[in-house]
Chains A and B, each alone.
Chain A
Amino acid sequence: MTTASASRGAVGQRRRSACGSASIPGRRPVSLRSYWEAVKAQAAKPEVNRQVLQVAFSDMVTSESLLDQLGPALIEPSSIFLYVRPETTRPALLSGCCESIRMQF
C-alpha cells in the first residue's frame, strides 16, 4: 500500500467512523461543493410587503413609520442595524422581524 492510498484509507476510516457515530445517525456527509451549491440556491430572497409586516406585528402596537423602515430593511439582502428606544420591548420587535421573514418560506 502506498503512502497516498494509506492516507486515503485513513481518511475513509475516519469518515466511516464519523458516519457510524451516534451523533449523525443515518446522515451521510455531502461534499463542501454540494453544501455551497445548496446554500447559494436557497439564499433568502424574502418578499416582505406591508400586509406581511402587519400580520407579523399584529400582536404589538407599532407605528406606520416603523413598518415603513423595517419593510425595506428586511427586503434588502444586507445587514440591519436596529436601534430601539430603551422603553420599547426589543425582543418582541425582533420576533416580529423573524416572523415576517419566516412567513415567506
Chain B
Amino acid sequence: MDGQVISVYDPIVHKKVGEDDRDSDPPWVLCQRPCIRGGELAAALLELHYDDASGIDSAPLQMKANNGIFIIDDFGRQQMPPRELLNRWIVPLDRRVDYLSLRYGLKFEIPFEVLVVFATNTRHEDREPVASEEDLARAAQLYFATEEGRSARDLFPPGRPEFHF
C-alpha cells in the first residue's frame, strides 16, 4: 500500500498447512482458517503497527483474523472499553470493510471478512449500557445465542432498550 509493506502472516495465529515450494517464491502461505481470541484487547492492537527495524507495518488483529473467527472473550473486561470497541467496529461489522491509516495519515480500505463472536457470562443486570440495542443489532446484524434459550427480546426487554455490557 503506497509502497509500504504490511505483514499479515503471523505464525502464532496462522497454522500453516503443508509445505510450499521455495523455488517458486509464493507470496501466499496456505493456512487453516485463523481463530483469534481477543481476551486482552487493547485499542492499539486494532491498528497498524510500524516496526522501525524492519520498515514493515504489522497487520492489526482483525486483519490477521480475516477469513476466520475473532472471539472477543469475556466481553466487557478488555483493556479497551466495550463502548470504544463497538464504536470502532460498528462500520466494519455493517459494511464488511475496515479503514486503516499508515503512520503518515494515508487511509485505505481493507476487507473485514471476520466472524466476530462476543462472548460473556456477565449477567444482563450487571452490564453497563453502551449502545442502543436497535442501533447495534441493525448495524452488526448480531445473532443472539444464549445458553438458556432466551431470545434477544428477553435479554433486552422493551423497557430497557440499551445494549448492556
Q: A32 CB to closest chain B CB, in angstroms? A: 5
Interface set, chain A 83-105, CB cutoff 8 A to B: 83-86, 88, 90-91, 93-94, 97-98, 101-102, 105
B144 nearest CB neighbor, chain A only: A81
Of B7, B66, B116, B121, which is within 8 A of A83 by CB? Answer: B121
Q: Is A21 part of the contact surface with B, judged by Cβ < 8 Å?
A: yes
Nearest chain-B residue to A10 (Cβ)? B3
**B residues 80-129 in Cβ contact with A at 8 Å:** 93, 108, 110-111, 113, 115-124
Given A15-B5, A23-B54, A82-B145, answer yes or no on A97-B121 (Cβ-Cβ < 8 Å). Answer: no
Indicate whether A61 reaches chain B with its CB closer than 8 angstroms: no
Given A23-B54, A90-B121: A81 in contact with B35 (beta carbons within 8 A) = no
Complex Cα–Cα for A15 and B141 (A): 40
A14 within 8 A of B: yes
Task: Out of B110, B111, B123, B145, name the residue touching A86 (CB < 8 Å).
Answer: B123
Interface size on A, residues (CB 8 A): 54
Residues B115-165 near A (CB distance < 8 A): 115-124, 140-149, 155
**Chain A 19-41: CB-based contact to B (< 8 A → 1; otherwise 0):** 10111101111101001101110
* Interface size class of chain B, counting residues whose CB lies under 8 Å from the partner chain: 35 or more
Contacts A17-B55, A78-B142 known; A44 to B116 CB distance under 8 Å?
no
Instruction: A93 to B54: give the CA distance in the assembly, Å.
Output: 39
Residues of B within 8 A of A28 (CB): 25, 27
- Other CB < 8 Å A-B pairs besides A14-B55, A86-B122, A97-B71, 5 of them? A35-B8, A72-B143, A80-B116, A80-B118, A82-B117
Binding site for A on B (CB under 8 A): 1-5, 7-9, 22, 25-29, 32-33, 35, 37, 51, 54-56, 66-69, 71, 73-74, 93, 108, 110-111, 113, 115-124, 140-149, 155
Interface residues of A (CB under 8 A from B): 11-12, 14-15, 17-19, 21-24, 26-30, 32, 35-36, 38-40, 42-44, 65-66, 68-70, 72-74, 76-86, 88, 90-91, 93-94, 97-98, 101-102, 105
